[in-house]
Amino acid sequence: MHLGYFYFDPLYIILIVPALILTALAQAGVSSAFSRYSRVRTGRGMTGAQAARAILDANGLAGVRIEHIGGNLTDHYDPKSNVIRLSNSVYSSPTVAAVGVAAHEAGHAVQYAMGYLPIRLRNSLVGVTNFGSRLSMPLILLGFIVGFQPLVNIGILLFSGIALFQLVTLPVELNASSRALAVIDEQSLLEGEERRGARRVLTAAALTYVAALILSLMQLLRLLLRFGRRRDD
């Protein structure tokens, strides 16, 4: 094994750097879209919390609570507590961006209530993904250094769980946005350019999940090419 090759990996430049750039661009895109449409008020003066409540009630989910949470874009649905938590810029904000984000989180609550298969699958992968994220790289590097390929293979297998989680997450997020936009249309929560603005915000957010999936797949490909077989040189 050549130690110089161990420390300099051209595959990182070829595979990972472009994926990292794509991820950064996606993050910048969602920040830009949210910032832009956070300055566009809804014609009805509806806040993010009110929009989420309307979507929940339309789906018979009166038992799901909506709470305020600190931070920026920390919005999420907590299935254990059956609560949608909306951030400072969403909860009481009567803007197109706030309504879009809140509607998306309400879409997740609807998914859980309906037993949407991909979200159930994603939940089943959380434990494996957390375990793999902590141990995969240490196992790969340890196995590589001591020349024990089975340990490397176990590490790569654990890391593949992260890529699988990202793969399952993508349709979950796209479906939540689709559900949100459908109810926005049905109940006329937004109209015309407002709706197009909400779609742009949700599309920008979806691209961050696409970028995350691409990054995890490129990382997995790099590991397979770099460490996936014993090197006797």
Cβ atoms < 10 Å from Cβ of 181: 20
| Rounded alpha-carbon distances, angstroms, from residue 63 to 67, 79, 105 | 13, 12, 15
For residue 230, the model assigns a pLDDT of 56
How far apart are alpha carbons 181 and 104 in whole angstroms?
8
More confident residue, 6 or 184: 184
Q: Which helix (H) or strand (E) holds 77?
A: strand 76-78
More confident residue, 8 or 233: 8
DSSP state for residue 143 in the 8-state scheme? H
Active-site positions?
105
Mean pLDDT over residues 106-115, rounded? 95
| pLDDT confidence bin for 2, thresholds 50/70/90 | very low
Average pLDDT, the chain: 91
| pLDDT confidence bin for 116, thresholds 50/70/90 | very high
Read off the pLDDT of residues 39-62 as tens digits, 9 standing for 90 and up.
Answer: 999 999 999 999 999 999 999 999
Task: Please check whether residue 155 is in contact with residue 135, taking contact to mean a CB–CB distance below 8 angstroms.
Answer: yes
pLDDT greater than 80 at residue 73: yes
Mean pLDDT over residues 87-105, rounded? 95
For residue 7, the model assigns a pLDDT of 55
| pLDDT confidence bin for 192, thresholds 50/70/90 | confident
How far apart are alpha carbons 221 and 182 in whole angstroms?
37
Task: Please check whether residue 87 is in contact with residue 73, taking contact to mean a CB–CB distance below 8 angstroms.
Answer: yes
pLDDT greater than 80 at residue 1: no
How far apart are alpha carbons 29 and 32 in whole angstroms?
5
How far apart are alpha carbons 160 and 25 in whole angstroms?
24
Predicted TM-score (pTM) of the model is 0.86
